Amino acid sequence: MDSAESFGTRRRLPLVGAVNFRDLGGYRSADGRRVMWRTLYRADSLAELITADVERIAALGLRTLFDLRHEDERTLKPNRLPAGSTLRVRALGFYPYEAVEMVEGINDGSLKADDIEHRMRALYRRFPLDHVTEYGQLLEGLLERDALPALIHCTSGKDRTGFAVAIVLMALGVPRETIMKDYLLTNRYRRDLTFMLRPGLAPDVVSALKGAHPDYLQAAFSTIDEEWGADATFLADALGFDADRCGELRARLLEPSGGV
């Protein structure tokens, strides 16, 4: 079984303004092939990129950017992209289930760490139910002509992007254990979210919000298991992404043969 940890250093792009920008290459699918390097990326906010960051991202040759932030977030912190870029931006943004209310409760002191963890699990449980349109469009977008290389991002690169990456890897046949390890890598590259939070919050409260806890993503997996029984059924019935579509995606994103 692949270790996301073993790929951790290699896959992160050392940017100043985006700390959680990672290459999804190298993960092994069930058929033994690996996800191609330099083809699909995940990231946090791109609003604070410095000039050197922008130049490095320009060198990646990205063709599509899937922005999962709500319109309000995009307006408050617009992405900083390479000048003259022909990058196709797909705005598929939304606020997750009760996320706004949760941040308000954190800031007014009414929510403690246990409350936040409970709400985060509820938020993740709703991802496969509430946002099938956005995630289905993302999968279809990856199959568009000249869509790759592509980048998926939100604000922290953890929740909306975390589940997005989970379903893409799922469609590629990557096991859940590996998907979880990739998700947990975010704990090494946590985004500064102080602009959203009042000063002086207890560390356990901040960790409950910012941390990539395994039971958060597991809550989404549990919904899939309870409602659809299998990943393939969820992809086909909820997202309209059947075995043939998964095969097309694998042809685009997996190496022809094994290798590092």
Per-residue pLDDT tens over the stretch 232-243: 999 999 999 999
Tokens read off for 254: 């997996």
In whole angstroms, give the CA distance from residue 179 to residue 4.
8
pLDDT the model gives residue 199 = 84
H or E element, residue 152: strand 150-153
Give Cα separations from 106 to 7, 69, 112, 226 (angstroms).
34, 20, 7, 30
Asked if pLDDT for residue 64 goes beyond 50, the answer is yes
Fold that domain 5-253 belongs to in CATH? Protein-Tyrosine Phosphatase; Chain A (3.90.190)
**What's the mean pLDDT when you consider all of the chain?**
93
What is the share, in percent, of the chain residues with pLDDT greater than 90? Answer: 85
Percent helix, percent strand, percent coil in the chain, to nearest 5: 50, 10, 45
pLDDT the model gives residue 147 = 98
* CA 20 to centroid of chain Cα atoms: 10
pLDDT the model gives residue 1 = 47
In whole angstroms, give the CA distance from residue 238 to residue 197.
34
Burial of 145 per CB tally in 10 Å (0-12, 13-18, 19+): exposed
Taking only the tens place, the pLDDT of each residue in 157-216 is 999 999 999 999 999 999 999 999 999 999 999 877 767 788 888 899 989 999 999 999
pLDDT-derived band of residue 258, with 50, 70 and 90 as boundaries?
very low
pLDDT the model gives residue 128 = 98
Taking only the tens place, the pLDDT of each residue in 137-157 is 999 999 999 999 999 999 999
Taking only the tens place, the pLDDT of each residue in 2-36 is 554 455 567 999 999 999 999 999 999 999 999 99
DSSP three-state, residue 67: strand
Give Cα separations from 221 to 114, 143, 166, 171, 235 (angstroms).
21, 24, 10, 14, 12
The Cβ of residue 9 has, within 10 Å, a number of other Cβ atoms equal to: 9
* 45-59, 88-102, 114-128, 189-203: the lowest-pLDDT one: 189-203
DSSP three-state, residue 216: helix
Among 258, 259, 256, 167, CA closest to 220: 167
* Residues whose CB falls within 8 Å of the CB of residue 183, separated by 6 or more in sequence, listed in order: 158, 162, 165, 166, 212, 214, 217
In whole angstroms, give the CA distance from residue 232 to residue 167.
10
In whole angstroms, give the CA distance from residue 251 to residue 214.
30
